[in-house]
Structure 1
């Protein structure tokens, strides 16, 4: 399969272009997604290619945008809705949680809705624009939640989400927008929903990392290898439904678990992964599971303080050596 290096945002753009070209029922709606290509330029050139009827700018009303998406999906379209910041999903909770996620339960019919949003603290946007709420939505029955960590997965997961007949929340990450990875250009390239990827194999410690923490975990694992500690790194890619089998299989073999995320620790995805390890691998654990997460505090604006709040490579490396003792 032919590949070429793409930035994260380019992977998203290519996925949207290919799916809109493939299926005329795919439409894109959101704030400034037309002319300027969205606030981050991710949707650039799509209106010029597919026209204003399929790429529609909306008022600044997240409830309206999400509600439009639910309605469009209910009548047979495949809308891709963009909510500019993950924080703003709070303004569309009823539409996402009570309408979209429950539509199949209420009606027995499909609702092919994709919601794209931007998360994480890599953009210095402050306490009201950089929060990580993935655990909130992962706890909602009927809603698929994905969190790509690179351009390849950003493209493949988004294409799978658009083709899915059920609502999917795609959480992109500020700090990854310009990160490059070799990405298949084939229009049939997909990354399956609900399937984790083992990014590095190892025998001593299992690391489960999400979003922009994946690359940091990989770098820390490389350092740990020089210290004689063999680390396996798993990228869940899909948060809900979680690929439990891949995680359990790895932890059962290594006996040690470190979970790294950009969200705070309490009631989080990291907490769920640790609980899974204790429930399914208790007799094979050689050490207590470890969570490396953001500080339980509001997100600051200055980037140096932002980085001090989340796990860095040095912190992850030290945790790997300690848990392997």
Structure 2
């Protein structure tokens, strides 16, 4: 079996569901003839026709709105926004309608929509092409927020998202679209939503990261192991709702934690993770939870991207600070 990239796994999952379920409609800017700006929908229009893979105008408000209409009439739309930075005109329909329909109709109608968007920095893009504003959507009731971090998880989680009866924001970390290859059988086997994945087991500290930030987090864990610090690495995958139980299980072993994400620090999702740890597992901690994040500024242009994104050195330094604090207390 050939190994595929994360973006190819997205294509494979879309094709599988379109073949299995005629209600699945894929549409967005340039997704048909060109196969999308990152080629995530390449070949789908030729295979399934222009009635099911539609090119739209450059109109994000319309893209979000017609998905609601499609979904409440029995279809399962998968709408692509070219970049997360282009999604803001669509917020009204996503927040005011897609996320509320189940409540508004007292369960009579739901919105089985997947809104896909490449997100995050690290590809030397211009302004509005490197956004990491996932916390906006995590705050909204009625929305599920999913971020894959590998080809296998992209395939399985996208299948689950399309099959879910409620709207899912599916953010694809474009920095690792083609950075990793895995064998991903086209089995149609979905991965569970709302469940975190333990990517590396350890006993000394818990590292929590998602999306592209997991690349540096796993590299940091390897360096720490050389210093005798065994880090457990957790990928939440579904950021809303958060699987806090897996995190607590890890803290029962490690008693220390660092949260890593590339979004801005203030009100980033790391703050919610820390809050839930403090609420449900405070007695397990031997040191305050540290965050390694982006800065409270607009993502800079490519000359400074590497300074903005959480790197291995910053993660290792945070881990050692937490461990030193615990040791200083004699724990």
Same-fold call, TM cutoff 0.5 = yes
In structure 2, the residue corresponding to 1:260 is in which secondary structure? strand
Distance of 1:20 and 1:287 partners within structure 2: 49
Residue equivalent to 1:323 = 322
Residue equivalent to 1:36 = 34
Query: TM-score when scaled to structure 1?
Result: 0.97
Confirm or deny: 8 A CA contact 1:221 1:231 kept in the other structure: yes
- Please list, as runs of the form range in 1=range in 2, the aligned pairs for 1:269-308 lying within 5 A after superposition: 269-302=269-302, 304-308=303-307
When the two structures are aligned, how many residues end up with a matched partner?
322
- Segments of structure 1 that go 5 or more residues without pairing to the other structure are none
Moved over 6 A (4+): none
Cα shift readout 1:112-131 (whole Å, capped 9, x = no counterpart):
11100011012222332211
Of residues 8-17 and 104-113 in structure 1, the stretch that sits farther from structure 2 once superposed is: 104-113
Residue equivalent to 2:245 = 245
Q: Following TM superposition, by how much is the alpha carbon of 1:322 offset from its aligned partner in structure 2, in angstroms?
A: 2.4
Distance of 1:77 and 1:306 partners within structure 2: 40
In structure 2, the residue corresponding to 1:324 is in which secondary structure? helix
Confirm or deny: 8 A CA contact 1:66 1:92 kept in the other structure: yes
Confirm or deny: 8 A CA contact 2:265 2:293 kept in the other structure: yes
Confirm or deny: 8 A CA contact 1:119 1:130 kept in the other structure: yes
In structure 2, the residue corresponding to 1:199 is in which secondary structure? strand
Distance of 1:126 and 1:290 partners within structure 2: 30
Residue equivalent to 1:66 = 64
Distance of 2:281 and 2:111 partners within structure 1: 36
- Please list, as runs of the form range in 1=range in 2, the aligned pairs for 1:195-210 lying within 5 A after superposition: 195-210=195-210
Distance of 1:130 and 1:215 partners within structure 2: 17
Distance of 2:2 and 2:148 partners within structure 1: 18
Distance of 1:161 and 1:122 partners within structure 2: 26
Q: Following TM superposition, by how much is the alpha carbon of 1:110 offset from its aligned partner in structure 2, in angstroms?
A: 2.0
- Segments of structure 2 that go 5 or more residues without pairing to the other structure are 325-331
Query: TM-score when scaled to structure 2?
Result: 0.95
Residue equivalent to 1:309 = 308
RMSD across aligned positions (CA): 1.1
Residue equivalent to 2:110 = 110
Distance of 2:235 and 2:61 partners within structure 1: 31
- Please list, as runs of the form range in 1=range in 2, the aligned pairs for 1:122-133 lying within 5 A after superposition: 122-133=122-133
Q: Following TM superposition, by how much is the alpha carbon of 1:4 offset from its aligned partner in structure 2, in angstroms?
A: 4.2
Confirm or deny: 8 A CA contact 2:12 2:186 kept in the other structure: no
Distance of 2:191 and 2:152 partners within structure 1: 9
Confirm or deny: 8 A CA contact 2:5 2:181 kept in the other structure: yes
Distance of 2:176 and 2:79 partners within structure 1: 20
Distance of 2:314 and 2:45 partners within structure 1: 44
